[in-house]
Amino acid sequence: MALPILYSFRRCPYAMRARMSIVHTNFQVELREVILRDRPEHMMEVSPKGTVPVLLLDRGDVIEESLEIMQHVLNWTLSEDEQHWISRNDDEFKFHLDRYKYPNRYEGVDEVEQRTLASAYLLDLDERLGSSEAFGESLSDALFPFVRQFANHDRDWFDSQHWSNVLEWLKENLESEAFKLCMKKHKQWVDGDDLVQFPTNE
C-alpha cells in the first residue's frame, strides 16, 4: 500500500511542526523535500495554494494546514488552553516575527519595535511554562519552531533576555532526538526519485 505523501520544506516552521508530530507518532510518510522557488507540478495539482506542508493521504484526501496535519496524525483535540496559545503564536507572534526578521518586506516597519511587540508573547509564554499546569508535548511542538526562528535572528540578544523558562524549554526541544530526526537534511525531490520514507533512523 502506498504511503501518504508529505511535501515539506526543512526550514519552514509550519512544516517543522507537522514533521515533529509525524516523528513522535512514527506515522510513516513518503517525504518530498520542496524548494519553494521550484515547486513540484504534482504538489501544485493537489494543493494549488503552493505552501508547505501538504499531506496527501493514501485515500486521496489532502490536508494543507500544519495544525490540521498535527491533529490528524496525533488524533489531537485541542483544549481551550492549547487553542489560546496556538492562536497567539500563529496570529500575534507570527505577525511580529515576520516584520522583525524581514523588515524590508514591509513598508514603514521598525525592526526593534516589532521585536518588542513579539517579546510580549514570549514573556507571557515564559510565565505559562513556569506555571504548575502541564505543558503538553504536542503544544510544545506546535509553538517552538516559531520561537526558534525568532531566537536565531539575533541569538545573543535573545539569550540575554529574562525569560529563563523559554530558554530552557527551547534548549530541551532543540537538543531532543525527535528534533534531530525531524531536521535531517534531504535533497530536493524531483519526479522519478527513489522513495524517501520518513521518519527513519537510517
Q: DSSP string covering 91-142, please?
A: IIIHHHHHHHH-GGGSTT--HHHHHHHHHHHHHHHHHHHTSSS---HHHHHH
Same domain, 136 and 187: no
pLDDT at 152: 98
pLDDT at residue 23 tops 70: yes
Same domain, 100 and 113: yes
Q: For residue 188, is it left (φ>0), alpha (ψ between -120 and 50) or beta?
A: beta
pTM for the model stands at: 0.96
Same domain, 43 and 32: yes
H-helix or E-strand spanning residue 190:
none
Same domain, 58 and 104: no
Give me 5's grid cell: 505523501
pLDDT at 157: 98
| Band of residue 200 on the pLDDT scale cut at 50, 70, 90 | confident
Number of domains comprising the chain: 2
Q: 14, 53 in Cβ contact below 8 A?
A: yes
pLDDT at residue 202 tops 70: no
Q: 167, 119 in Cβ contact below 8 A?
A: no
Same domain, 24 and 39: yes
Predicted confidence (pLDDT) per residue in 40-75, tens digit: 999 999 999 999 999 999 899 999 999 999 999 999
Print the domain residue range for 87.
80-179
Same domain, 65 and 129: no
Same domain, 69 and 85: no
